[in-house]
Structures are given as C-alpha cells and as structure tokens.
Amino acid sequence: MDKRTILAVVLSLAVLFLYQTFFVKPQPPQKAPAPQQSVDSIKKDKALTSASSQGKETVLEKPAAPEESAKPEAPSRDILVETPHYTAVFSTRGGALKSLKLKDYYQDCYECTDDLWPKIKRLFTGSKDPVKPKTKEFVELVDVQNGMPYPLAVTFPESSTDISPNAAFETATGKLDLINAKEKQQLVFSRSHGNIKIEKIFTFDPAGYAIALEVKVHNLTSSPITQVPVINWYQYVDPQKVDDSYGHDGPAVSAGGSIERPEVKKLNSESILGPNVLWSAYESKYFIASLIPENPSLTNVVMTRDANNMVSVGTKGRKEVIPGGQNSVFSYSLYLGPKQYDLLSTLSVGLENAIDFGWFKWLAIPALYILNFLFGFVQNYGIAIIILTTIIKIIFWPLGNMSYKSMNEMKKLQPKIEALKEKYKNDQTKIGQETMALYREHKVNPFSGCLPMLIQIPVFFGLYKALMYSIE
C-alpha cells in the first residue's frame, strides 16, 4: 500500500471522527408511549372496513373527546417485573404497562465523542461554558402524563361490550423476579365487565426483550356476542422537541408489504393502516416498542393525536363472534427494546426493517455483521471501525492503484493535449478526434481514473449507514 493510500485512510478516519465530534450529538433515547384518546372512542366501523379492504392509509374526522368513564375507576396497584435486561412496572389500572427501563442503556451518552466537545472548545477558544450534567438513569420506554391511560391497555370498540383503557383489573401477583430464572413466568390480570370477563396474560422470557400477550374474552351470557380487541400504545410527544433529521420519532407500521412512518405533527385526524399488518410500533432512532399480531390479514392499525399531544397507536384485531358460555383468545407478541438487528430478525416478521438503512441496506447489513464480528475480538467498536476501513482499502487497493496510474498517465499526456487544443483551436471536432487517437496510441482510458472511485463510493455509503443507524 503506497503512502498516498495510507494518507487517504488516515484522513478519512480523521474526517469521520471530527464529523461525529462537532456535528453529530448523541440523542437522548426515545421514550415510547403515553396515552391519548382511547381508540374506544372510534365509532366509524364503515370507514375502517373500507380502509381495510383497500390496504391504504385513510384519514377520517377527528374523534369525539373521551368520555368520563376513561378516568381511573379505583386506586391502582403496581406489579414489579425484574429481568436481566429490563425492569418493568405494570399497573392494575388497565392491566397495562406503567414503566419499562432498559438496563443495558442509559439516558445519556457516556465516554462518547460528545464528551470531547467541551474539552476541544476550551482548548481552542478558552471557553468556560459549564458542562451539562449527565444522569445515570436507564432508558425509559414509557412516557405518559398523569391520568392518561398506560400502554398495552385493551379496549373493545365496535363490540357488544366495550371497556375503558383505565378500567381496574385484578391480579394475585405482587412481583416477578426473573433475574436468575431459567423458565418463563406469567403475570395474569382479570376483570369481569358486564357480559364478559377479560383476562390479560403476559408471559416473560428472561432471555430477552420479547413478551407474549394473550387476551382471553369469556362470554358470560347464553347468547353470542361480538368482540373486537384493540391493543393501545400511548405516547406523549413534546411539541417543543426538535425533529431529528437522521431518525424517525413516532408511529411505524408494516402493512401491505411496506413500512409507513406518518409524521406525528400530521396526525391531526385518525389515520388507519391495514390490513396485512405484520407489526405496529412506536419507535425512535435506536429503540422500539412493537406489537406483532397473530393474524396480520385481519389486523388494522388506528393512529391518532389529541390536543394534549398524546399519540395513540391502536392495533385492532379480528372481529370475533363468541358463542354463549365460551371464550376466544387473541394472541400477540411484543418486542420492547433496542433496535439491534440480530435480535429483531429472530422474530421473523421483518421487524429488523425498522432500522432505516435506506438504499444501501444490502451493503450496510454485511458491514454491520463484520463490525460485530471484529468487536467480538477487540471489544472496541472504534478499533473495529479502523480495522474494517483498512480491510476495505486493502480490498479496493488494486482499483485505487489502477485509478492512480491512469490519472498519472493522463497527467503525462496533458502537454500534448494542450498542444492539440492550440493547433486545432478553431475545430472542436478535430480536437476530439486527435485526443482520442492520442489516448489509443498510449493505451490510456480517460474513464479508468474515475470508475474505480465510483465503485468504492457505495461501499463507504453502506458503512456510513451502518455506523449511523446501528445501536451497537
């Protein structure tokens, strides 16, 4: 490898480091949900059915304000669920998720390029600006305001019997400790409500971020009833927050073979996506709270935002006719955690596509795998990036050397080309013909200097995407 190539590698790494230092500030992890108008206020079955058959986004009129029944019915009780990867708090209010903190991720970035900025600024400017204090708090995926429904509340719009997202449930469980557990454990909520009894069964796996959810609906009457479950994920959105140009912060839905990411600011009316919903989610750049339905072809997603900046992502299941004295079960899978490619891909529903690698996905994913492989040996992503960049330069060195030689030959021919231009200055056609003849005589291809560089550009764009959007 010649001196120019080595210098190019060093300069490339320096530019990457300085860009990350001065322009890319680490983002505070996205919180996930907070309540908004309950989907049980939606009374537009005809519009929903029409939108489902078309599989396209539909905008309806803004729903009516929540009824008084949406207020908490009774004092609630919290149930702590502790696993090696997260700490979750469930509430008997709605039998829903009150808090979920990821133990492997902090709210603030530590020992990263952002920490160098104050030091560099002081070094070159003498500035004594105070350093913003950092917190050791874990990433929180739940963000709701007082009195608002919690995420994973179930409602039954367009059903024989509906239920408030704040309805009081019962459970015999006080705490679940899966820190050293080898087996899965369950948390069961139940509520008798009019003609139905509802059971919500959460099954926790100590090995990861996946949670299974079953909603059982028992018909307590002797006559058939119709129930349509909606699992709601609520999120408070700060209206003062500046949009991130490098990542989406809001609802995401995989429906009809594509991923839709509506802008939160444009959710002024109900937006319906479906059917064929593989998953629905509320996401940020690096984290995701997602729900995977059992029957994608019979699933729709209803998204709204109210005047209090509460976003609701309601996953609406199939319409089920339950015979008298019998029950029906609606099953879901949850993934509440980081956007880590290998973890998302194990769910086999395309949730890994929530990581927005863009057009260079086919290059970004291999680059990410290689980085993770190298990290397994060196235990430092900075060193892994340097090694991978060096490997790429070595692989493309023959092309780079070809480009260098071609440009060098072109440089040698430059005086002769200038002489031709002077000789035939009044005949542009003749200049072109004589120039091409000169190239053929010296076996020089004018495009061979640029083509090798063009081949390398997509590879480095793929590496850039892998570095920009992978949480690793």
Q: Where are the domains of the chain?
A: 26-102+140-355, 377-469
Greater confidence, 3 or 273? 273
Q: Under DSSP, is residue 113 helix (H, G, I), strand (E, B) or coil? A: helix
Q: Which helix (H) or strand (E) holds 408?
A: helix 397-423
- The residue count of the chain comes to 472
Q: What is the pLDDT of residues 166-208, one digit of tens each?
A: 999 999 999 999 999 999 999 999 999 989 999 999 999 999 9
Non-local (6+) Cβ contacts of 411 within 8 A are none
DSSP class of residue 2 equals -
- Residue 269 has a pLDDT of 84
199 vs 193: CA distance, rounded Å: 11
- Residue 117 has a pLDDT of 56
Q: What is the pLDDT of residues 331-357, one digit of tens each?
A: 999 999 999 999 999 999 999 999 989
pLDDT at 113 over 60: no
Q: Under DSSP, is residue 296 helix (H, G, I), strand (E, B) or coil? A: helix
Q: What is the pLDDT of residues 415-455, one digit of tens each?
A: 888 888 888 888 888 888 888 888 888 777 777 667 777 77
139 vs 136: CA distance, rounded Å: 9
Q: What is the pLDDT of residues 227-264, one digit of tens each?
A: 999 999 999 988 887 777 778 889 999 999 899 999 88
CA distances from 231 to 46, 95, 313, 387 (A): 20, 11, 8, 46
- Residue 36 has a pLDDT of 39
Mean pLDDT of the chain: 82
Beta strands 175-177 and 78-82: pairing type?
A: parallel
How would you class 154 by CB atoms within 10 Å of its CB: exposed for 0-12, middle for 13-18, buried for 19 or more? buried
Name residue, tokens 């530019």. Answer: 15
259 vs 398: CA distance, rounded Å: 40
Specify the range with the lowest mean pLDDT, choosing from 28-42, 115-129, 232-246, 284-298: 28-42
- Residue 6 has a pLDDT of 59
Class of domain 26-102+140-355: mainly beta
Kindly state the average pLDDT of the residues 266-275: 88
